[in-house]
Amino acid sequence: MALFGGHREGNETFLESAARELHEELSYFVASERLEHCFSYEGPDWDQSGGTLRGSFLLSEIFPLIR
């Protein structure tokens, strides 16, 4: 399960594209400087035989609590 996904556009940095995708998918703006890269994976796709899966996990401390 994932919250959102997407691709880089133009000359965006990795963190700029993540901030844009957060805004597009969740309607919540987080400046790219507030995102911290935690972990990346690149390897065999678990769902598609012969495919490659790439993913990165980010952390931000400024999301509001939703109860």
Digit-coded pLDDT (tens) for 5-45: 677 889 998 888 888 988 898 888 888 888 888 899 999 98
In whole angstroms, what is the distance from residue 57 CA to residue 60 CA?
Answer: 10
Residue 52: C-alpha distances to residues 1, 2, 23, 48 (Å): 17, 17, 26, 8
Assessment of whether the complete model's pTM goes beyond 0.85: no
